[in-house]
Amino acid sequence: MGNAALRDIAAIEEIPFEDVEGVVAVDAHNWLYRYLTTTVKWTDSSKYTTADGTEVANLVGIVQGLPKFFEHDITPVMVFDGGPSDLKDDEIESRREQRRSYEEQLETAREEGDAVAIAQLESRTQRLTPTIQETSRDLLRLLDVPIVEAPAEGEAQAAHMVKRGDADYVGSEDYDALLFGAPLTLRQLTSKGDPELMDLEATLAQHDLTLEQLIDAAILIGTDFNEGVSGIGPKTAISAITEHGDLWSALEARGDHVEHGDRVRQLFRDPDVTDDYEFESTIDPDLEGAKTYVTDEWGVDAGEVERGFERIEESVTQTGLDRWT
Amino acid sequence: MFKAIVSAETLTSALDSVSVLVDECKIHLEEDGLEIRAVDPANVGMVDLSLDAAAFESYEADGGLIGVDLSRLEDIAGMADSGQLIQLELDEETRKLHIQIDGLEYTLALIDPDSIRQEPDIPDLDLPAEVVLEGNDVNRSVTAADMVSDHIALGVDETEEYFYVDAEGDTDDVHLELTQDDLIDLQIGPAHSLFSLDYLKDMNKAIPKDTEVTLDLGEEFPVKIYFGFGEGQGQVTYMLAPRIQSD
């Protein structure tokens, strides 16, 4: 889930929702996971469990989470972690296979004690069940919310899309978005109130670092993919990188070591991303279809999603005056 | 520099017409009068208000800008009896507004204008139909529609030449037709748009019942609603974005 210590380094400020405009490339796993946790925590599980015991709390989460974007005229693009690039029905099987292959790789990585690979693969296999993966995509498609399949880390792909100018912000709670070079990241999209804006350029300027140096400092502190050096916090990491220039010199000076430092660094500097995606930013949801899917097909208690659907309907039917300016 | 004396009615009308949309606003203290422009947080309803210097008993200003908490200022203005005068004076040093009503002195802390949401650009609309009617007819239409629905359709029948109001509820419907004879004026043009009653109800509260109100309408376009107040020295223009019609 990223390293919260990065918060002390990042240039973050709360901004009013009204000032947010355009397209947000949302780290879908990160976003869904937040709503899953809340739904599971606060809702009686019978409301989202099918007769055969399958839990689809994700469907409740999606219906509750999307209105926030629509009500502020923001287009969310859901960027999913590693999977096939296009999700037609006949490809679901290939996604299952991909998952199996990830699981096998994960097993191998565990046997070999490859910490980087374990961390990478765990995030892709364990966080969301296959049913959640599939039903989330189905529901998002019915609601006409664009989906992008990342070749690997969704967050890296989202950052890539913002860098290319196809989206305006990355949407993620994860501070790692900075390390993937996301120019602007919106946090707290899943919480009440206004979001936080995390600004890469301002962060670098504040510490007089390059992005490469910021990555190195983060590796010293610890990331999703490495443990970090014990005893090094944000302040020490930055002064060490500033003083010694880069990760290796800083480690050498301290006589410390980071396992697979080069690979972690490469993962942030040159992540596996694709230019092969397209989406439309106008959203025209099939609300009836979505309701039927959630309540009839998956048997979710209608009361749990009623308000969310109402909010979605209201926000897509009411236009804003900015359309005429 | 800003110093003015104004009747309680005029000030209250001006504030009420803005506070139906926003809680805080910027007020431009121009040499020839006050100007306020604001849009609600969802960017659906906008108000553009001007109050000419002539509407005041006395008025002196040189182009300053202040930010106010509208409900505060309304509460203070509400302390005045009808017909009483309210004196306003800006203290540039402390950024406070001194308000005097008879012997009552109230010092109002102003809000930093930069902390208030940006003033909206005014949409450039070329609306084909124009309906001029009494505020009372707007009130009747909105009140009746609100009994059955959350939205209201406003339009002009080009062949039969009348202005109509439609509201469809789950069980009950409301329909109102106003012909040339019922209206003060009607310019026929293609017009039919659906609006949220939540907004229209609030705007309606600020429309004087005995005033001439003009509605400019188009097809799936915002409606422009404008009327005068303060003995014709004040002008309020509302713009309200339409809802997309599903059928």
Across the interface, whether the CB atoms of A317 and B123 are under 8 A apart is answered no
Residue B238 CB partners (closer than 8 Å, separation 6+): B45, B46, B47, B48, B203, B224, B225, B226
Higher pLDDT, A165 or A226: A165
Instruction: Tell whether B120 lies on the interface with A, counting CB pairs under 8 A.
Output: yes
- Number of domains into which chain B is organized: 2
Domains delineated in chain A: 1-87+126-206 (3.40.50.1010), 208-271 (1.10.150.20)
Final residue in a domain of this structure, among B115, B137, B172: B115
Kindly indicate the confidence band of residue A182, based on its pLDDT and cuts at 50, 70 and 90.
very high
**pLDDT at residue number B58:** 97
B231 and B151 within one domain: yes
Percent of chain A at pLDDT > 70 equals: 91
B138 and B81 within one domain: no
pLDDT exceeds cutoff 50 at A87: no
Instruction: Tell whether B23 lies on the interface with A, counting CB pairs under 8 A.
Output: no
Is A112 assigned a ligand-binding role in the annotation?
no
Kindly indicate the confidence band of residue A193, based on its pLDDT and cuts at 50, 70 and 90.
confident
Residue A52 CB partners (closer than 8 Å, separation 6+): none
B158 and B108 within one domain: no
Q: Which residue in the block uniquely carries the two structure tokens 């002390």?
A: A8
**ipTM associated with this complex:** 0.86
B169 and B69 within one domain: no
Task: Show the tokens assigned to B49.
Answer: 């208000």
CA nearest to B43 within chain A: A320
pLDDT exceeds cutoff 80 at A215: yes
Asked if the structure places residue B170 within a domain, the reply is yes
Final residue in a domain of this structure, among B87, B115, B143: B115
Instruction: Tell whether A73 lies on the interface with B, counting CB pairs under 8 A.
Output: yes
B211 and B159 within one domain: yes
Percent of chain A at pLDDT > 90 equals: 54
Asked if the structure places residue B223 within a domain, the reply is yes
Asked if the structure places residue B160 within a domain, the reply is yes
Across the interface, whether the CB atoms of B196 and A318 are under 8 A apart is answered yes
Instruction: Tell whether B170 lies on the interface with A, counting CB pairs under 8 A.
Output: no
User: Chain-centre distance of CA B117, in angstroms?
Assistant: 18
Which three-class secondary structure string do you get for chain A? CCCHHHHHCCEEEECCHHHCCEEEEEEHHHHHHHHHHHHHHHCCHHHHECCCCCECHHHHHHHHHHHHHHHCCEEEEEEECCCCCCCCHHHHHHHHHHHHHHHHHHHHHHHHCCHHHHHHHHHHHCCCCHHHHHHHHHHHHHCCCCEEECCCCHHHHHHHHHHCCCCCEEECCCHHHHCCCCCEEEECCCCCCCCEEEEHHHHHHHHCCCHHHHHHHHHHHCECCECCCCCCCHHHHHHHHHHHCCHHHHHHHHCCCCCCHHHHHHHHHCCCCCCCCCCCCCCCCCHHHHHHHHHHHCCCCHHHHHHHHHHHHHHHHECCHHHHC
**pLDDT at residue number A117:** 75
Asked if the structure places residue B123 within a domain, the reply is no
B188 and B148 within one domain: yes
Range A81-102 average pLDDT = 55
Kindly indicate the confidence band of residue A88, based on its pLDDT and cuts at 50, 70 and 90.
very low
Asked if the structure places residue B10 within a domain, the reply is yes
Residue whose C-alpha is closest to residue A133's, from A286, A29, A36, A217: A29
B110 and B179 within one domain: no
CA nearest to A286 within chain B: B246
Q: Nearest CB to A322: which of B43, B45, B244?
A: B43
**Which of A20, A194, A318 is the mutation pick for testing B, counting most B CBs within 10 A?**
A318
Instruction: Tell whether B77 lies on the interface with A, counting CB pairs under 8 A.
Output: no
Task: Show the tokens assigned to B28.
Answer: 């431009």
B27 and B107 within one domain: yes
Q: Nearest CB to A18: which of B117, B196, B222?
A: B117
Is A199 assigned a ligand-binding role in the annotation?
no
Residue type for A221, please? I
Kindly indicate the confidence band of residue A99, based on its pLDDT and cuts at 50, 70 and 90.
low
pLDDT exceeds cutoff 60 at A91: no
Asked if the structure places residue B186 within a domain, the reply is yes
B14 and B50 within one domain: yes
Asked if the structure places residue B153 within a domain, the reply is yes
User: pLDDT 10s per residue in chain B (247 long)?
Assistant: 999 999 999 999 999 999 999 999 999 999 999 999 999 988 899 999 999 999 999 999 999 999 999 999 999 999 999 889 999 999 999 999 999 999 999 999 999 999 998 899 999 899 999 999 999 999 999 999 999 999 999 999 999 999 999 999 889 999 999 999 999 999 999 999 999 999 999 999 999 999 999 999 999 999 999 999 998 999 999 999 999 876 4
Give chain A's mean pLDDT: 87
The whole-angstrom distance between B226's CA and the closest CA on chain A is: 17
| Domain with B216 in it | 129-240
Cα distances (Å, whole numbers) of residue B113 to B67, B110, B119, B121? 5, 9, 10, 17
B6 and B98 within one domain: yes
B88 and B164 within one domain: no
B111 and B10 within one domain: yes
Q: What is the CATH number of the domain that holds B37?
A: 3.70.10.10
Final residue in a domain of this structure, among B75, B93, B115: B115
Instruction: Tell whether B210 lies on the interface with A, counting CB pairs under 8 A.
Output: no
pLDDT exceeds cutoff 90 at A200: yes
